[in-house]
Each structure stands twice: as structure tokens, then as C-alpha cells.
Structure 1
Amino acid sequence: MNFQEEYTFLLGQQWFSKEELDQLARYYNSHYPQLDFLEFLVRSRRLDPQKYRQALYYFQSKGKTSPAFTGSASPETRRPGQPGTLAPSHGEPHNHAMIAGRYRLEKILGQGGMGKVYLGVDTFLKRRVAIKINIMQEKDQSRFLKEAQIISQLDHPYIVPIFDIGKTQDGQIYICTKYIEGVDLSHVIEDLKNGRESAFTTIPRRLELFLKVLEAVSYAHSKLIVHRDLKPQNIMVGFHGEVWTLDWGLAKVLDESESASTTDSTMNLDLLKEIVNTNTMDGTMAGTPGYMAPEQAYGEQKKIGPQSDIFSLGVILYQLLTLEEPFQGKTLLEVMMKTTQGEFLPPRAVNPSLPKPLEAIILKAMKNKRWERYLSVEDFIRDIRGYLENKPISVYSPSFYEKSILFLRNQAPLLAGLAMVLAFISLVSILVLQTEKSKRLAESKAKAALKKQFTLEKQKRILAERMKKEAADKQKAIEAKLKAERERKKLKEEQEKKWKRRFEALKFYWAARDILMRNMKFKTIKEEVIP
């Protein structure tokens, strides 16, 4: 299967206009001749997977399938860490093949522009490794070797180390590196965007992750190495919080001589109009559209330096904190034009809850003019750490209210200690006051009890005196009554004696009267009877 057959098939399917297909073909022949034309279209996202499979089945039926396209999924649809199903072909290692008599290939993990990555087993040390095997033509292997040489100079805990390098039995160069179990940062962002459970829900946790990327890039810059292709897909996050910066294939050593093929911005703007591609571009523009700095988009190789990586890091931080890409468009030209002109929504317009200092940090890193960005990644790190530690940062002047809040946060330990002292003093004061209150209450109760006792005793005395008086009065009354009774009895006896004396005195009178009356009655009767 050759370019002409693929071109004729695509033109017959009418998936592209002839003019559009000719533009794509010209760009392909100029910049990606090492790739299959269909592979180029898939990687540039001009051919969707369904149409790709249709083309694949057509060429399979003709018995003209390219070795690079005998898998069940397109190169663009496979993710790092996802098993591939590429069939072995002549000159290409297959699953369970041995390399250098030491490494056994288990399965394919993914494929990039320069090579295929396999999960392998180091049979000597009994550990899993990642093995990247070059698939480029021999004349293009220098870039593959350059990546290995660059990584070998970067001994850092957040940069994947190289274990070994050599050639397969077929003469293909391989690089053996540490095998990483995890996902790339784009998946972390996707999980956060879709509300799935994540260890990086809070902004401080995301910043801690991002600091590890900054430290890795800062270390590389200290070795005069610029990554040039920083993006979430090139940052791996381990299942235990580890972070690694990957894919140094486009890295640039700052002291190396510049290529004479550097082009001007006008030429690159014309070139941008030829193709829509959101993947890493291996030609004049080194980097990934949407993440590359404006000077990279213009292809100004001599201007690419640490500030170019800082721009890409700013884009990554923007996406990590807002969960949206800053430069969005329907075509590559639109994305790149927005990049070169610095047209993107401020972070707080996308995520209003984002703190203003973090927005200022992002905007500083993403300045359109490279000399307006951070001078070094160390300055970037200093501001991120300053924010995390509630300290002033270089790119933001807080208001009085924010300064007050920042002061309180900065003095939190001192204020906490002062608060503890005040709390202790307050507690002691409360205890003393409580003790005094209890003492006064006890004294008050004692006085009340004494007063009550005194009152009771007084009442008892008064009651006793009253009862004594009442008893005395009662006794006097009784005695007076008895006396009165005796006097009455005595008076009665005297009256009785008086009457008795009178009766005795009248006794003779009555007796005389009775005699007289009888005599008088008898005389009357006598006079009546005997006249």
C-alpha cells in the first residue's frame, strides 16, 4: 500500500474535497514522509476512527494493509497503559519476544511518532519495565537517540529514569525505562471535570501535584534542557501520588547550535492553514497546539527557551484549576491564532471561585511576550509555594482586606499560641472567679444559715416567751377564775348564811304567824258556825 493508493481511495470516498486533500498531501509529503498517509490523517484528527477502520478493511481485503495498521484500534484511540493489539510484522518485535536476551515483551502500551512502547519484563532483575522501540527510518534515529541522551542526564525523582539502551536483533534502537503504573494528568482533569472521585479535589492538592512538575522542569532547565512539549498527556500521576514528566523527544539543549531551517512567522501562519492537528508536531513547530508558546507556534527556534516551557506550564495550571483548555477552536488555525495573539478567557471568568492570586500567577506565566513571563521556573515555584504558605507573591498586590486575611493566616501559629494563652488565662480567671464565687456563695449560705438559725432561735425565744406568758396568763386566769369562784362560793356561802340567819330570824315569825293564822282561821270559822 502506497501513498497514491491511499490518496485515490480517500478521493473516491469523497471524505475530503480535492483541494483540501491536496493541501493535506503537500503538508504530509513536506513534514511527515516517514509516516503512512492514513496514519498521518488519524494523528492529525482529520480522519475519524470509524472511517479509518473502513479504510483499513478495504485495504485488508486487497491484501495491501500497512504493517502499522493491523491493529484493532487506531493509534489515536489507544491510551498509554491500554493494551494494544498490533499484529507482528517483519522487522517488528511481537508480544513475548526477547530483546537483548534480557527483556521479554508482554504487550504494547502505546505508539508515538518515533516509537512503540511495550510493557516488558526484565528477566534478570525480575521487574516490569517500559521498553520504547524506534520505528523511524534509520536516518531519523538521531532524534530517538537524542531523547535517550537527554533523559540520561536528568537524574530527578520526578523524571522517568533510563535503565538501559541498545539494539534489537533487527537493529532497531530500544530504550528501557521505569514502568509507571498510573494515568496521565489529562485523565485526572477529566475525572475532576466529570465529578468523579479524585485525590486532587482541593486546590492545594492540585498545586502540590503541579509543584512536582515544576521541580522536574526546573531541574531540566538547570541542565540547560528545555522540554518544548509540556502538556497533561506528558505528565503521569501514579496511584500513590507520584508524578513524572515524560516524553523528552522534542527537548532542546540550549547550548547546541540552532538549525538553519528556522522559518519566519509569516511562513508558519501559512503553514497553519494547511492542517488541523492537535497532536505533537514534529516538523518546524515543535510542540503541541494549545500548549506551545507563541514563539513555538511561529517556529522561531532561536527564541525558544525556558520561558517557552513556563508558558506551557501556565496553560497546564490554567487547565488544572479551571478544568478547561484556555485556547479552544474548531480548527488548528483558530487555536494557534488565539495562542499567538494571547486570546483566552481569564481563569476567574471560567472558574469564579478561583482565588485572585492564582489567577495572577497563571496570567504571568501565560504572557504573550516571553520576557514578561516568569524569568525562571524557580520564580514560578516561589509564587506557588508562597500562595500555599499564605505569604505575599510577586505578581499580586492584595487589598487591605486580603492583606488582613493574609496576615492572620501567616500569623496563625502565633495567634493560635496567643489564643491558647488567652484561653488559659481566661480559664484560670474563670476558675478563680468561680472559686471566689463559690467561696462567696458558701459564705453567703453560711451567713444565711446563721441568720436563719438566729431567726429561728429568736422565734423560738419569742415563742417560748409567748407560750410562757400565755401559760402565765392562763395560770393567772385560772387563778383569777378560781379566786372568783372561791369568792363567789364564799359570797354564796355568806349569802346562804345571811339567808339562813334571816330564815332563822323569820322562823319564829313564821311560826308565830302560822299560829296566828290558824287562830284567826279558827275564830272566823267559829264565828261563822257559831254566830
Structure 2
Amino acid sequence: MTPTTDTAHWRNVQRLFDAAIEQPEQSRHTFIDTAAADPAIADAVRRLLALHDDYLATQDVMPGAALVAEAVRSLAQQDERLLPGAEIGSYRIDSLLGSGGMGNVFLATRNVDGRPQRVALKVVPLALRHGRLVEHLRRERAILAGLDHPDIARLIDAGELADGRPYFAMEYVDGERITHYCDQRALALPARLALFLRVCDAVAHAHRRFVLHRDLKPGNILVDHDGRVRLLDFGIAKATDGVVATDATIDSGFFSPDCAAPEQVAGRNTGVATDIYGLGSLLYELLCGCKPFDFAGQARTTIVERILSEDPPLPSRAIVRSDGSWTRRGHADAASLVAALRGDLDLIVAKTLRKPPDDRYGSVDALAEDVRSVLAARPIAQRARERGYRLRCFVRRHRVSVGAAVLAGVVAIAAIAMTVQQSRRAVAARAVAEHERDHARGVVEFLVNAFENASAFKTRSRDVSASELLQSAARSLGSVSPDDTALKAAVAQTLAQLYIRLDMIEPAEGQAQLAREAMAKTPDASSEQRVRQDVIDAELASLASRYRDATRAIDDAAARIAADSSYSDPDAEVRLALVKARTLRLDGHPAEAIAYLRRSYDTLRRRADIQPSRLEPLLHRLTRQLSLNGNADDALELLETLLASQRKRLPEDDPALIPTLQSLGQAYYRLRRNDLAIDVLERAIAGQRKYYGDTYSELAAMYNLLGNLYLEEGRAQEGEQLMREGLRITHAIDTNKRGAALIYDSLALVYRNGHGDYAAAKRFAGLAFAVTPAESRDSLAYTSRTLAETLIASGDYFEAVLYAESALQYMVESCGNCQQVAYLTGDIAYARFRLYDFDGARTRLTPEILTTLRVWTRWPHDVRLHAETVARTIGI
């Protein structure tokens, strides 16, 4: 057909359809046969009538709008210009991916530097190339051009056909709708909420660019094979700044009734709250397996009325409507899933689905923050003032029970030790020492009084948690006189340090902020107090992967110590050394970290005011870094000496032995002495659980390491169970993204090497890469390598090279010239070899690398055998 006859054809179809729709239903087909001048026109009109009748009986919430959408879907196949094999610019059409009211989407391919690139090509249907749809597509193209987010399908190219129809090519996402992805993999609620947070992050990014999506439904949110969320289809998106579009009803009903907000259905102004409603509908389905409303078989007027006036049941009450989906959410029965949804999750979903837009969350970030609070067992904003509820959240997060007298005694001893240290100062600094001593006594007195007010003390309960005591102390901080800012700072610093030791990072941040504010009002604060604040700030920044901020605080502390000849607080100096070493390592300077730890240990152990036992944390960090960097023999020598010393002065089950056993386990693992590694790690884990409970990051790390050992010993199922338990712990500690990435890496190994399930391995490797903090170059090296190796195992050599090459620089920074670098270089050589890049493979697989791989690799059937294959084939 020519463009002219195309236009005439569709005008004739429209006229005949308009006439046929007015005829009695029983005589329509006879009328069409009589009135149609062309069989093709008659066939098109019959299709339109069938779609019209079907749609009126099911889902049409805006009169006539969905009719056009469905007509486009049906008639898309008649656009002979875009059949497979047709060319649009540099693209060749492969197939039709789908059709919607806002356009047709084709799978297309073009060559980029000799390599095929697949894209999703969106074009206005030929039948409707004029008018508002053309403007819609141009507007969608403009919106996508302004969005740059890893979870939003990106715009690649744009142009117009010869007949004036606009098109654009966007990233092709080979994935599943998010609900199907979660159900097929039986993801538990925490994993579903984590994916939902990625969607929130993408939508929030669009909002920050003044763009509303307005059609947030599972079909527009895909999860690819690497576990990455991708937000699609901004076809009815609206610009909130008024530049691109200002019509409140410009979508003309091309939204989905299952996720349509009341204001959309009523034709009123849409805004951020509209997308909040769509996110709430998605969250509802992710949580309980069904949609907020069941519209099957209902008339249009009924659907509209229900959306406008009826509140859906809470997710916990909708479980009975679902099809046994609790098993796909990690629950044995409906009752346990109901219990998990009842409370916070019910409240969050209900707030997103409220009818008045102003009653919903004010922003996507506010919604996401409440969801994060659920994952971390923190109070959500709606219930922040409920004291009993907040206490229950603290208890859920930290179940470690300690005797109140012990905790108070530890604080008192630390304060008294500080007082004694201050009294040794020179006569010229005696006034400062007395001032510090007074505040140390004030801290002890304050904490004792605060703990006495805790409910466990009032009832003489012996079952008291550390978190409850600290919460009671934090609440009592307001009772300190506003004029005594130095005491308030000292108390807040003490609480912040204790919270950090309990992995309670959010309350630690809060106390650190209170301490900073009090310090700002204390011009005569001592050097000791200012250094303590610097150390706390550095540790919190390092835990959050803000390494520049950590380094700045570390340098400030070192400068204060150097400037005050009378300074003496060895505890702060030890903590400062630990934080600096950790920051150096994770910021990509492992050799400097090792050298710094050696210098610090040698310097501090000569100090008469520091007991050797207080330096043991420095030895643990030094030996673990030595093990990671290929010096496990040196680490083992130090650890065996330390363990012999500890056993002479400590009982066999003393908790001080736990970190030494953990470090020994890591050294034995690196030396491939698996039996010894398993033995000491199992003892360390038993001690950790006995003394500290089941919620600490150190326990998660030990579970992960022991799980890897079980995997190597052929106990893959036991290893996976340990890793998943470690993952549960890391998810409860919201700042421990690096820990979560390491466990995802290990799970990828389990599925790749233990189960041979490459799809699952890629998913876990992708999750590791996604959650790794960008600032943690050390972690990026290992997660990139795991992803690259998993891609190699599944035959995706091109992508494997990209990830492996990018990881190599980080790996060199992370461990210098250790075996890990040879391991990754061997991966690159093999991937290039499989891509027939023999020169590239030969460049990477040098004789030195090959020798290293022959004498060292934990997986001889993997990297070493690949390297031998390359060497034999290309002659190395």
C-alpha cells in the first residue's frame, strides 16, 4: 500500500466501524458484508467489533480509550512496512515484541563496530500515525533522553520514518515481569522488598527529573537474568515541570485499571502521589500474590466505582484470596505469611493506596525509607512515637543479652581507666585532667541512673538486652543539663561507641550527631574528647563506605594527637589504628594497610600504659589482611603465637579466643588446610553464638567462610544453608552492603560449582555486583571477578571479558601481586581465547601467570584447566 491508499483504507475502516456499531448486534455482520467495498476492510472492522465486545465485558475504565489500544494491538501485524526483515535507519526488524495503546515495540538489530546490538524499537502504528499518539511518542522519547539510571531502560537512538512517524530505540531487556520473576524463584519477603526498593529508586530518579511514570504495573517492570530491575514504558509519563506536558488527562485512559489511581480514573490532576499508588499496587501483589482488586467479569461502571470508593483488604487479609502463594514467599503456611504481613507492611501498603492523594506518602523516598526500616527491623515513620513498638524493633534487631551490671561495669571501668590516665599528665595539664575525671564520673553516674530506669531493672528481670539498656540511656540523655555540654558530648560518645559494637549503626549515627552538636558548644573540650569524636566519625564513615570522609576524620585525629604532647588515651589510639587500616584496605590500598598495621602494632606494644591484650584486635586485622594478600604463612605464625599466649592466661571457652579462631580459620583456608579451618571455625561460631547471639556481622562472615569450606568438601547443601543464614544477618544490618555482596558471591559459587545451575549463579553474581558500594574498590574486584567467571561458565564470553577487564585494576589495587590477580588474569585469557582473540589471550596468559595457576588455585577443574587448554592450543 502507498501512504495515500493506507490513509484511505483506515478512514474507510473507521467509517464502517462507526456505522456498524450503531446497528443491532445481531445484524452487524450482515451489514458489514453489504457495506464493505473491500474484504480487507470488512475483516478489519470485524476484528474491531470483536475487541470492542470483549473489552466492554472486562476492563474498560475509560470510555473508548482501551478500544483504540486493543485495536492497535490487533492491527499491528498489518503494518507491512515493519515486517521482519524491514529496515528502519540502521536497524533491521527481527520480530514484534508487543503492542500497546501507545505504540508497537519491535525487536531490532544493528551492527556497532562489527558486533550486533539488539534494541527494542518503538514506533507509532501505521493506522494511527497522526494526531496525539505521535506527540505521545515524541514526548516519551524526550523523557527517556533525560533519564539516566541503571534500573531504567536507557534510550539509545531516535529518528523518524519517511511518513513522519517518530521512533526510538531503547535498551532491550531480556527479562521477566517482576512478579513472575519472584514467584518462579520462590523469593522470600526480604528479597522481594529488596527488588521493590530498586524500583522505588528508579521511580524516585524519574521524579527528581520532574517525570511521572503513571503506569507502574508488573508488565512495565522487568527483572533480567542478572537480577537487575528495569523500569520500562514511559508512554503515558508526564513532566511535572510543565515543559513537556501540562494536560492532566493526556494519557486518555491508556493506563491499566489494576494499578490506576483514583485521580486517574476520575480524570483529575495527577502527581507524585499517582506513582505512589502504582507502587503500592505493585507491593501489594509482591507481598500477597494477588492484586488489590479483582475486576474479572465486572462492568466498567462497577470497576470505576470500586477504584474511587472501595478500600482494598489489607495484604494480610488478602492471603485467603491467593493461590497458596505463601510457599513462594518462604513461609510454610498461610498463617506465618499473615503474621509477617500484619503490622508494618499492612500499614505501608494501606498508606500508598489511600484515596486522597495527600494522604499517601509525600515522596517515593519516604515510602522506600519505611520499607528499608521493615527490612532492618527499625520503626517505620507511621509508628515512630509508639514506645513499646520501638522497643520491640530494637529487641528484634539485637537479641544479645548481657547482664546489666556487667555492661555498666565495663563502662565504669573504661571511664575509671580514662581518669587514671588523665591523672598521670604533667602538672601543667592537671586542670584538664581533673576536668576529664569529673566528666568520666558524670558519665558513669549518668549511665547507672539511666540503666536503673530501664524496665528490666524495675522488675528485677535477669533477661535484659544490651539494646534495651542503651535505648533507656539514650532516652535519659535529655535529662542532662543543657549547660553541661561537655558531659552531654561524653555520654553521647560513649553510647555511640557501644551502639557501633552492637552493629546498631543508625542509633550510633544519631548519638554521634548529638555529640557533635554538644562539642560545637564546648570550646574548652580536651584533646582526648575531640579525638574520640574524630574516631567515632571515622568509623561510622568507613562502615558506610564513605572513605574520603573517614580519611579526613582520621587525619584530624592524628593531627590533634601530634599537637598535644600530654595526650594520653590509648584506647582511642588503638581504635584509630583499626579504622585507618580498614579504610586503607577497602579504598584500594592493601599494601599500605599492612605496613601501617605493622608500624602501629610495633609502636603501641612498647607503651607501658597499654596491656598486650588490648592490642589483639590489631593483630587480628593484620593477620586477616596478610591471609587475603597471599601471605597466609606469615599470618599463621603470628596467630599460633597469639593463641598459645591466650591459652596460658584464659579459660578454654573465653570469648577473647573467638576472633583468634576466626582469623586462624581464614589463614588455614588460604593455605588449603581445610580440615583445620573447619575445626577452628566451627568452634569460633559456637562461641560467638553462645556469648553474642545470632545477629552480628562477624557471625555472618564466619558462616560465609565455613560455607565455602563445606562447598569445597562436597557439602554444597550445608554450605548454602550457612550462607543464607549469613545473608539473613547482613540484611538485618542495613549498612553492611559489602558483607551481603560477599555472601552473594559465595552463593554464586554454590550454584555454579555445587549445583551446575548457571542461571541461578548469574543471578546471585549480579546481585553481588549490584549491592557492592561503588566506593569499595576492594569489594568491586571480587564481585566483578565472580560475575565474570559465572558468565564464562554459561558461555557469555564477551560480557565476561568486559567485567573481568574492569575488575583487574581493582584486583591489583586490592591485593598487589597476589594469586588472586593471576586467577583473574587466567579468566580473561580464557574468555579471549573463546572469542578467538588468540593474541589477547597470549598477552594475558604469560608464563609467570601460568606457573602461578599450576601451583595455586582452589578450583583446579576451573581456572587451571582452562589455562592449560589455552596454553596447549596457542603454544605457551
Aligned-pair CA distance for 1:38: 4.0
Partner of 2:13: 2
State the Cα RMSD in Å: 3.9
* Residue identity matched to 1:321: L
Aligned-pair CA distance for 1:36: 6.8
Partner of 1:346: 314
In 1, Cα distance between equivalents of 2:284 and 2:272: 18
Structure-to-structure mapping, 1:113-512, within 5 angstroms: 113-125=101-113, 126-135=116-125, 136-140=128-132, 141-188=134-181, 192=183, 197-198=184-185, 200-256=186-242, 282-283=251-252, 285=253, 287-301=255-269, 304-329=270-295, 330-351=298-319, 352-353=338-339, 354-396=341-383, 403-411=390-398, 429=651
Aligned-pair CA distance for 1:431: 6.2
1:182–1:239 contact (8 Å) kept in structure 2 = yes
1:342–1:367 contact (8 Å) kept in structure 2 = no
In 2, Cα distance between equivalents of 1:402 and 1:215: 28
* Residue identity matched to 1:385: R
- Residue among 87, 91, 104 paired with 1:98: 87
Alignment deviations for residues 7-36 of structure 1 (CA, whole Å, 9 cap, x no partner): 6489576499xxxxxxxxxxxxxxxxxx97
Aligned-pair CA distance for 1:178: 0.6
Partner of 1:86: 77
SS in 2 for 1:255: coil
Partner of 1:59: none
Aligned-pair CA distance for 1:93: 1.8
1:158–1:212 contact (8 Å) kept in structure 2 = yes
Alignment deviations for residues 170-217 of structure 1 (CA, whole Å, 9 cap, x no partner): 43321111111011235346xx3xxxx41x520011111111111111
Aligned-pair CA distance for 1:151: 0.8
In 1, Cα distance between equivalents of 2:103 and 2:370: 38
Aligned-pair CA distance for 1:5: 4.2
In 2, Cα distance between equivalents of 1:12 and 1:176: 44
- Residue among 71, 96, 101 paired with 1:108: 96
Count of residues in correspondence between the two structures: 352
1:46 aligns with 2:55: yes
Partner of 1:448: none
In 1, Cα distance between equivalents of 2:84 and 2:395: 60
Partner of 1:53: none
More helix by share: 2
Farther off after superposition, 347-356 or 313-322: 347-356
SS in 1 for 2:242: coil
SS in 1 for 2:131: helix
Inter-CA distance 431–312: structure 2 relative to 1 (3 Å threshold): closer
In 1, Cα distance between equivalents of 2:205 and 2:95: 32
In 1, Cα distance between equivalents of 2:191 and 2:155: 29
Partner of 1:22: none
Aligned-pair CA distance for 1:46: 2.4
2:96–2:104 contact (8 Å) kept in structure 1 = yes
Partner of 1:503: none
Inter-CA distance 366–410: structure 2 relative to 1 (3 Å threshold): same
Inter-CA distance 336–359: structure 2 relative to 1 (3 Å threshold): same
Inter-CA distance 295–171: structure 2 relative to 1 (3 Å threshold): closer
1:41–1:47 contact (8 Å) kept in structure 2 = no
Aligned-pair CA distance for 1:116: 1.3
SS in 2 for 1:123: strand
Aligned-pair CA distance for 1:332: 2.9
Aligned-pair CA distance for 1:315: 1.2
In 2, Cα distance between equivalents of 1:362 and 1:3: 43
Q: Normalising by structure 1, what TM-score?
A: 0.58
SS in 2 for 1:237: strand
In 2, Cα distance between equivalents of 1:257 and 1:105: 33
SS in 2 for 1:160: coil
Larger Rg computed on CA atoms: 1
In 2, Cα distance between equivalents of 1:404 and 1:365: 26
2:83–2:93 contact (8 Å) kept in structure 1 = yes
1:104–1:123 contact (8 Å) kept in structure 2 = no
Aligned-pair CA distance for 1:259: 8.2
In 1, Cα distance between equivalents of 2:45 and 2:391: 62
Alignment deviations for residues 362-401 of structure 1 (CA, whole Å, 9 cap, x no partner): 1111111111111111101111111111111112369777
Inter-CA distance 9–236: structure 2 relative to 1 (3 Å threshold): same
In 1, Cα distance between equivalents of 2:157 and 2:98: 19
Inter-CA distance 287–75: structure 2 relative to 1 (3 Å threshold): closer
Farther off after superposition, 362-371 or 408-417: 408-417
> Identity, % of aligned pairs?
28
Inter-CA distance 160–365: structure 2 relative to 1 (3 Å threshold): same
In 2, Cα distance between equivalents of 1:322 and 1:169: 49
* Residue identity matched to 1:364: K
Partner of 1:437: none
2:91–2:110 contact (8 Å) kept in structure 1 = yes
Q: Normalising by structure 2, what TM-score?
A: 0.36
Inter-CA distance 36–306: structure 2 relative to 1 (3 Å threshold): farther
Aligned-pair CA distance for 1:42: 2.6
- Residue among 69, 72, 75 paired with 2:73: 75
SS in 2 for 1:46: helix
Inter-CA distance 412–122: structure 2 relative to 1 (3 Å threshold): farther
In 2, Cα distance between equivalents of 1:183 and 1:248: 18
In 2, Cα distance between equivalents of 1:122 and 1:202: 40
Alignment deviations for residues 290-318 of structure 1 (CA, whole Å, 9 cap, x no partner): 312111111012xx110111011111111
Aligned-pair CA distance for 1:41: 5.7
* Residue identity matched to 1:248: F
SS in 1 for 2:227: coil
Alignment deviations for residues 87-126 of structure 1 (CA, whole Å, 9 cap, x no partner): 552xx322111211x1111111111123211111112342
In 1, Cα distance between equivalents of 2:377 and 2:243: 43
2:129–2:165 contact (8 Å) kept in structure 1 = no
Structure-to-structure mapping, 1:515-526, within 5 angstroms: none
In 2, Cα distance between equivalents of 1:408 and 1:396: 16
In 1, Cα distance between equivalents of 2:396 and 2:273: 32
* Residue identity matched to 1:312: G
SS in 2 for 1:345: coil
In 2, Cα distance between equivalents of 1:337 and 1:384: 30
